[in-house]
Amino acid sequence: MAETISSSAAGQARQELILTRILRAPRSLVFGAWTDPKHLARWWGPRGFTTTTYSMDVRPGGEWRFVMPGPDGTDSKNRIVYLEVDEPERLVYDHFGEEGDEKEKFQTTVTFLDRGTTTEVVMRALFPTAAAREFAAEKHGAIEGGKQTLERLAESLGSGSVKD
C-alpha cells in the first residue's frame, strides 16, 4: 500500500495532517464512494466505527450530517459543510465535531488524482492551530483513524492499495 503521513515543524505545516493513498480504482468510482451515503456507510471512519448519515447535500454550501457510533458505545456527531465540489477531482469542506463545536473545526481538502488505472487520494486537514492538530491526534486518534479510514475505503472498493 502506498501511504504517507506528513507534517513538518515549520509554519502552517504544524497545523496540517496529510494522508495519501493510491487505490486500484478509477477516479470517478473513488469520488462516488466519497459522496454517496450508501457507500460511505461501508467505509467511513476507523475500524470498529459505523456511520449513519442523517442528511447529505454535496454542493457548495451543502451539509453532511452524520453520527459515528464507536466501539465503546459513544456516539460522535459530526457536520461537514462543503465549500468546493469539483467532481471528480476535489472536495473541500469544513468538518465540525459535536454539535458544530468551533474548537474542533478543521478544513479538509481531498484531491482525487487520476493515475491511469489507479487513483491517488490526498487528504489534507488544516487545523486552526498546531495545538488543535495535536488535540485531534491525541484525543481523537486522527492519524491512525485517518489511515484506517483510507484502508477501509480501499477494502470497500474491492481494489486494495498499490504497493510501491
For the chain, domains (ranges, CATH) are 3-45+86-156 (3.30.530.20)
Long-range contacts of 154-158, Cβ-Cβ distance < 8 Å, separation of 24 or more: 154/1, 154/21, 154/23, 154/24, 155/43, 156/33, 156/39, 156/42, 156/43, 157/23, 157/24, 157/25, 157/29, 157/30, 157/33
Characterize 95-117 residue by residue with b for buried, 16 or more Cβ atoms within 10 angstroms of its Cβ, and e for exposed. Answer: bbbeeeeeebbbebbbbbeeeee
Flag residues of the chain having pLDDT under 70: 1-13, 98-103, 159-164
At residue 29, the pLDDT reads 96
For residue 135, the model assigns a pLDDT of: 87
pLDDT, position 3? 45
pTM score, whole prediction:
0.87
pLDDT in tens, 76-96: 899 999 999 999 999 999 999
Instruction: Summarize pLDDT for 136-152 with one digit per residue, the tens.
Output: 888 888 899 999 999 99
